[in-house]
A and B are shown apart, each in its own frame.
Chain A
Amino acid sequence: MIQINNISKSFKGRNIVSDISFTFETGKTNMIIGESGSGKTTLIRCMVGLNDPDSGDVLFDGRAFYELDFMGKKEIRKDIGMLFQGGALFDSQTVEQNVVFPLSMLTNLSESEKRDRANFCLKRVNLNNANKLYPSELSGGMKKRVAIARAIAVQPKYLFCDEPNSGLDPKTAIVIDNLIKEITEEYMITTIVITHDMNSVIEIGEKIMFIYKGEKWWEGSKEEILQTENKEVCDFVYATKFMKTLKSKFQ
Chain B
Amino acid sequence: MNIFFHFGRYFLLMKRAFGKPEKISIYRDRVFEEMYILGVGSLGIVAIISVFIGAVITIQSAFSFSNPLVPIYAVGVAMRDSMILEFAPTIVSLILAGKIGSSIASEIGTMRVSEQIDALEIMGINSAGFLILPKIIAAVFFNPILTIFSMFLGILGGYIFGLMAGVVTDYEYIYGITYQFIPYDVTYALIKSAVFAFIMASVPAYHGYYTRGGALEVGQSSTKGVVYSFILILAFDLILTQLLLV
Contact = CB atoms under 8 A, between A and B. Distances in A.
Given A105-B23, A105-B26, A50 B116 contact: no
Contacts of A86: 114-115
Interface in B111-130: 111, 114-116, 118-119, 121-126
B67 to A, nearest CB: 57
A72 to B, nearest CB: 11
A48 B115 contact: no
Contact of A82 (B26, B122, B125, B126): B122
B102 interface: no
A88 B118 contact: yes
A84 interface: yes
A22 interface: no
Contact of A50 (B111, B121, B123, B124): B121
A104 B26 contact: yes
B124 A88 contact: no
B120 to A, nearest CB: 9
Nearest to B118: A50
B116 A80 contact: no
B116 A88 contact: yes
B23 A77 contact: no
Contacts of A102: 123
B118 to A, nearest CB: 5
A77 B121 contact: yes
B185 interface: no
B115 A106 contact: no
Nearest to B119: A88
Contacts of B118: 45, 50, 84, 88
Nearest to B16: A70
A106 B122 contact: no
B240 to A, nearest CB: 34
A217 interface: no
A196 interface: no
A201 B119 CA distance: 26
B76 to A, nearest CB: 46
B170 interface: no
B110 interface: yes
Contact count band on A: 20 to 34
Given A91-B110, A104-B23, A105-B22, A48 B122 contact: yes
Contact count band on B: 10 to 19
A91 B113 CA distance: 13
A155 to B, nearest CB: 13
Nearest to A160: B122
Interface in A87-105: 88-91, 101-102, 104-105
Contacts of B122: 48, 50, 77, 80, 82
A40 to B, nearest CB: 15
Contacts of A49: 121
A82 B124 contact: no
A78 interface: yes
B216 to A, nearest CB: 17
A93 to B, nearest CB: 10
A150 to B, nearest CB: 8
Contacts of A105: 22-23, 26, 123-125
Contacts of B116: 88-91
Interface string A150-187: 00001000000000000000000000000000000000
A75 B23 contact: no
A78 B26 contact: no
Nearest to A108: B23
Nearest to B19: A70
B125 A84 contact: no
Nearest to B115: A88
Contact of B115 (A78, A80, A84): A84
A47 B114 CA distance: 19
Contacts of B22: 105-106
Given A105-B23, A105-B26, A105-B125, 5 more contacts: A49-B121, A77-B123, A84-B118, A91-B114, A104-B23
User: Which 8 residue pairs spanning A and B have beta carbons closest together?
Assistant: A88-B115, A77-B124, A78-B124, A88-B119, A74-B124, A82-B122, A84-B115, A102-B123
26 contacts: A45-B118, A48-B122, A50-B122, A74-B126, A77-B122, A77-B123, A77-B124, A78-B124, A82-B119, A84-B115, A84-B119, A86-B114, A86-B115, A88-B114, A88-B115, A88-B116, A88-B119, A91-B114, A91-B116, A101-B123, A104-B26, A105-B22, A105-B23, A105-B26, A105-B123, A105-B124
